[in-house]
Structure 1
Amino acid sequence: MANARTRAGSNLLLDEYWEAGDDRFVDEVLSLTAGKKLKALADRWFKDGRPFARRTLVAYIADGCDRPHHRPLVKALFKLAEKARDDELVGHFMVAFDRLVERKLVEKSRYDWSSRQSSKVRVLVGTGKHPTRYWGRNDTSPHFSKATRNYLRRRVLRYFRDIGRKDPVRYGKAIRKALVLYRDDHLDKPERLLDAWSLLHVLYHGSPAIDRQADGIRVAKDHSLAELEPAPLWPEAWTGCFEEVLALVTTAKSRTVRAFAVAWLKANYTRELGTLTMARLRPLIASPNEEVQIFAADLLRTAEGISSLTVAEWLELLQIDNPTALGFLCEAIKKHVTPARLTLEQCVDLACSPIAPVAELGLDWAMSKKTAGIKSIEAILKLATARAPRAREAAAKWVVSTLSTAKEARMTHVRDLVDARYEDVRREALQLFERDVRFKDDPALWSALAESPYDDVRAFLLAHLVQREKALGPATLERIWATTILAVHRGSKQKRTALGQIASRIVEHPNEAEPLVGLLGYALRSVRPPERRAALAAVSRAAFQAPALRSAIGRKLPELSLFQEERA
């Protein structure tokens, strides 16, 4: 129907689509601007018994009934539906007419003579898009006047009000079908909700929070829209229909209608809600709408069959993205599930949730389990990626405490924590590194610190390497690692010395060449060409003297071309 706004309609195509039962017929109708031609179409369109005619008629009304020069057709169709007592079609008109009147919130100054002070207040005023009324017969103006718009929405409400007076059951069924049609984009602002004349009367007719006047509805003095509580027109039409009201919760396209249905169910159908089974609640929990998720999660505490849910089903429920609803779910899972039913890995996955209640629950359960063995340690290391800050901080302390007492703890485990993206995790890991004798003398771990992109890790490294350089023996492999890393990151004059020491070590101890050649490459990339040439000369001599070194150099420093002639 979007194309109908940008092109002129064709009478020839209109007749062709009508005869063929083609849904493009409604696009042609919407694009026409010949009022008399359109009005003549009303009777045969309404009386045509084909599903095509009904389908396109509903689509036409859903467009909003405010196309230029469509006034005669809209009024003719509405009168036909009203005369035929077609509740469904009149319901579509009700939704459309609730969008005909538009007001806007503006700020105005009000002067209080008693206090002699002025203040700013926000009031609803008309947009000025349409004339107030047309005097005499007017068939040429393209749009309804403001007076006609107000009349149409009052008249459609009167249709349903009369039904409710005579037959509340029929009224209830008809009005609930119409309520499903309201969409969130129809009511996306407070002023648009207040302009929905029929909707507010149907749902909140008796509410003291609104002031109903002939020219529109306003918020009552000293009240707010947040105070709206269900007070429907013809309340008896909302009794004895639990299933229909519950269906509104899932089928309504508007938050306003869903919120009304939820509040009405809580106030009037407490017993029925208590009998809902998990099978009935699961679609509600899976709803994309926040208020429905919260409603369903709250009902979980008394739902039948909740104790028989499997762990997989509980974990699936905890995947919804709604902190409030997850709070209710966590209460229910604590009551009905024991930690023994979950594996350590499942508990860790819960602890990594961004939602605090879920993360804290998962962490509590994980900490209650035994963590003996390398697999358990590797499982809990995933907690370094937990996204809920409070849970992550507690998890980091627990993981580090576990590593400090676990015989299976490895340097790689500490390195993974030092490389974590979160500072609180790195802080705990660095403290473990500093105090645990198994890790603080590990040269590979010191090298890993040197490659860290995080400032706090670099600061820790530089603060400790000076002390370690003095403590290490001059002939040990650890000293060469420490001296090299320190020289590279300080940018000091010791770089040349460090490079010389590494080269000498490679020449004197070819069996240690594998790790040292990699270190050499790391250091070479941070020095100036003259310093680089001296070290390369020493290594080259060693390589020619000891062919066993060539393979290590080729793997670790592939950019060097020492043996091109041999390869040729």
Structure 2
Amino acid sequence: MSAARSQTASTLLLDEHFEAGDDRFVDEVLASEAGRKLKALAPRWYEDRRPFARRALLRYIDDGCDRPHHRGLVKVLYKLAEQAGDDEIVGRFMVAFDRLVRRKLIKVTRYDWVTRTSSDEPCLVSDTGAPASLPQGDVASPRFSMRTRHYLRRRAFRYFRRLGRRDAARYGRAIRAALALYRDEHLDRPERLLDAWGLLHALYWGSPALERLPRGVRLAEGAALAELEPAPIYPEAWQGAFDEVLGLATAARSRTVRAFAVGLLERGYAAELRGLPLARVRALLESPHDEVQTLAAGLLRQIPGLGSLPIADWLSLLQTENAAALAFVCEAVVEHVSPSRLSLAECVALACARAAPVAELGLRWARTKPVETAADLDTIARLATAVAPRVREEAVAWLVEVLGRSPHGRAEHVRDLLDSRHEDVRARALELFEADARFRDDTGLWAALAETPHADARAFLIRHLAARKAAFSPEALRHVWAAALLAVHGGARDKRAVVRQIADRVVARPGEADALLPLLGVALRSVRAPERRAALGALARAAFRAPALRDAIARRLPELRLFEGEDAA
């Protein structure tokens, strides 16, 4: 009773949403299993001329036409569209019906009685779980049988085959609109492509690599899918349609269809492709699809007058993200653009590009430019932010070399390198810092280094702290030591050095004991035994070198019992 009431409520809601033109109507249809009601709804739905009804119909078909108890609705809608000569709707049905049959590739062991050997052979078997067939007149079964599924996909393409015999131009327009709807997820495995009856016949009707059998399409003996080349049924429908085929190449949602369209363009429209203006080639380069970008990159080299193209246009072309296309673009840039046409800043910007080919080109050109002024040095300092690792390594090596010999090199340049988030950049900066007296003796740089969040820079500072401690305030020293002791990962040698430095500082300046002893307490409470031993030894040495510190140690580190025996005596 509950299920019946729910079904009644659902059918009432269907009628309500349909009359109101509510987009929730499609969701209710998809969720409904009231087969009789849905079948009765089909004529009213198809004949409704409201944009809402058409939009809902397209969305419903795109769902796949394989919902339980939707057999009657699907059949009636398809027959109405076929009778009306509705190319768009039948095309949508063809795409949906091509997904009704699903096979999977398995290995079957076969025994050869002549050679008395067994071998594994690939075999395609059904993977839908649908019954092979249904009794005549069966209306209760929820899903299409395999026999009906094969029939539906053949019937949908038969509509287009008959259309092509009558009107090749109309067929071309209709089939291209349908082909653009196939998605990569529909064809994600080789067997999925072989199951797409309408798609294969539309694109590869004459291909010798395919065998068409009653149970489906399969590869010919010794053939491979990679051998498929455009061989469409009704080739005349694809002639004189350059703009439409190019549009299919850019708009298709499936790699299979895009590859077909690109192959057809290269084979049948070479002259038209060569005549494309730069603006259209640039639009193709900006396509998100590899096949189209690679096609455009090849066309780029054939455009006349490339040498006179403005630099701004070349820089725009170099922003494409497809690696294959970008390689062709870089080749064209090297061939047609002189480095003298770019400023140092433009070369540096290229060197900082994410794509390695562009970055390598930018750095190569930047190194041909003179770096004579402070402004030039500021410009190439941006190379430290290069994204491509190999380019950044080479760029920073050159930058450090220029900084070392340029009279315009400033401590700010080195400080920016030391603050880099890239470890390789900081390593080069530390080498320059240590080797060049201009920077090594700059107290401001040492003070800035005390604030570094980077472990490698902090370790460098700790190694040189004894000689440079005069450059730091007590607060800066405490910050460096605390950061080193609190570091979780690595730095054991640095921590032992810090413990010794703190102990020496406390002995030399007892007035700072209250501030520094808690830092030794951090090491003393470490979970690592070597750190605890180092802290304990440093405290003991400090206490015996400066007995006046014993009260401060007892006060700040009450858990430590170094002097209990002496106190008792």
Question: TM-score by structure 1 length?
Answer: 0.78
Q: 1:156 to 1:479 in 2, by over 3 A?
A: closer
Shift of 1:396: 1.8
**What amino acid is the match of 1:238?**
W
Q: 1:522 to 1:399 in 2, by over 3 A?
A: farther
In structure 1, the partner of 2:132 is 132
Q: 1:389 to 1:499 in 2, by over 3 A?
A: same
Shift of 1:276: 0.9
Q: Is the 8 A contact 1:323 1:355 kept in 2?
A: yes
Q: Please list, as runs of the form range in 1=range in 2, the aligned pairs for 1:125-524 lying within 5 A after superposition.
A: 125-127=125-127, 129-303=129-303, 309-445=309-445, 457=457, 465=464, 469=467, 477=470, 490-491=497-498, 493-498=500-505
Shift of 1:204: 1.6
Shift of 1:233: 1.6
**CA distance, structure 2, for counterparts of residue 383 and residue 326 of structure 1:** 21
What's the CA shift string for 1:385-430, capped at 9, x where partnerless? 2222221222122111111110011233233334434344344334
Greater shift in the superposed pair: 494-503 or 343-352:
494-503
Shift of 1:280: 1.6
What's the CA shift string for 1:6-27, capped at 9, x where partnerless? 9876333333444444444434
**CA distance, structure 2, for counterparts of residue 132 and residue 428 of structure 1:** 71
What's the CA shift string for 1:487-508, capped at 9, x where partnerless? 976135454444566799xxxx
What's the CA shift string for 1:189-232, capped at 9, x where partnerless? 33222211110111122223333222122333333323322121
**CA distance, structure 2, for counterparts of residue 528 and residue 49 of structure 1:** 83
- Find the residue that maps to 1:491 and give its secondary structure: helix
Q: Is the 8 A contact 1:262 1:295 kept in 2?
A: yes
Shift of 1:350: 1.6
Return 5+ residue gaps in structure 2 as ranges: 1-5, 482-493, 523-538, 550-569
Q: 1:488 to 1:72 in 2, by over 3 A?
A: closer
Q: Is the 8 A contact 1:246 1:261 kept in 2?
A: yes
In structure 2, the partner of 1:69 is 69
Cα RMSD, aligned residues only: 3.8
- Find the residue that maps to 2:181 and give its secondary structure: coil
**CA distance, structure 2, for counterparts of residue 327 and residue 226 of structure 1:** 24
Q: Percent identity?
A: 54
**What amino acid is the match of 1:249?**
A
**CA distance, structure 2, for counterparts of residue 502 and residue 293 of structure 1:** 70
Shift of 1:329: 1.9
Shift of 1:118: 4.9
- Find the residue that maps to 1:302 and give its secondary structure: coil
Q: 1:34 to 1:453 in 2, by over 3 A?
A: closer
Shift of 1:150: 0.1
**CA distance, structure 2, for counterparts of residue 503 and residue 203 of structure 1:** 88
Q: 1:18 to 1:126 in 2, by over 3 A?
A: same
What's the CA shift string for 1:235-254, capped at 9, x where partnerless? 22111110100111222222
Shift of 1:105: 2.8
Q: Is the 8 A contact 1:380 1:399 kept in 2?
A: yes
Q: 1:26 to 1:443 in 2, by over 3 A?
A: closer
**What amino acid is the match of 1:142?**
P
What's the CA shift string for 1:160-202, capped at 9, x where partnerless? 1122233322221111111122222222233222211110111
In structure 1, the partner of 2:60 is 60
**What amino acid is the match of 2:199?**
L
**CA distance, structure 1, for counterparts of residue 496 and residue 350 of structure 2:** 40
Shift of 1:362: 1.1
- Asked if 1:90 is matched to 2:72, the reply is no
Shift of 1:100: 0.9
Q: 1:439 to 1:501 in 2, by over 3 A?
A: farther
**What amino acid is the match of 2:125?**
V
**What amino acid is the match of 1:346?**
E
What's the CA shift string for 1:263-293, capped at 9, x where partnerless? 1111111110111112222332222223222
- Find the residue that maps to 1:263 and give its secondary structure: helix
Greater shift in the superposed pair: 31-40 or 321-330:
31-40
Q: 1:122 to 1:436 in 2, by over 3 A?
A: farther
Shift of 1:126: 0.8
Q: 1:435 to 1:32 in 2, by over 3 A?
A: closer
- Asked if 1:41 is matched to 2:48, the reply is no
**CA distance, structure 2, for counterparts of residue 377 and residue 37 of structure 1:** 78
Q: 1:281 to 1:495 in 2, by over 3 A?
A: same
**What amino acid is the match of 1:47?**
E
Shift of 1:443: 4.7
Shift of 1:527: 4.7
- Find the residue that maps to 1:105 and give its secondary structure: strand
What's the CA shift string for 1:115-141, capped at 9, x where partnerless? 766555543211251110113221111
Q: 1:19 to 1:456 in 2, by over 3 A?
A: closer
In structure 1, the partner of 2:488 is none
Greater shift in the superposed pair: 43-52 or 279-288:
43-52
In structure 2, the partner of 1:100 is 100
Q: Is the 8 A contact 1:278 1:305 kept in 2?
A: no
- Find the residue that maps to 1:272 and give its secondary structure: helix
Aligned positions, number: 510
Shift of 1:296: 2.1
**CA distance, structure 1, for counterparts of residue 133 and residue 499 of structure 2:** 87
**CA distance, structure 1, for counterparts of residue 333 and residue 8 of structure 2:** 61
**What amino acid is the match of 1:198?**
G
**CA distance, structure 1, for counterparts of residue 79 and residue 15 of structure 2:** 24
Q: 1:15 to 1:373 in 2, by over 3 A?
A: same
**CA distance, structure 1, for counterparts of residue 515 and residue 276 of structure 2:** 66
**What amino acid is the match of 1:207?**
S
Shift of 1:461: 5.9
**What amino acid is the match of 2:331?**
E
Q: Is the 8 A contact 1:480 1:501 kept in 2?
A: no
**What amino acid is the match of 2:285?**
I
**CA distance, structure 2, for counterparts of residue 493 and residue 48 of structure 1:** 88
Return 5+ residue gaps in structure 1 as ranges: 1-5, 505-516, 539-568
What's the CA shift string for 1:56-92, capped at 9, x where partnerless? 3323322222222221222222222222222222111
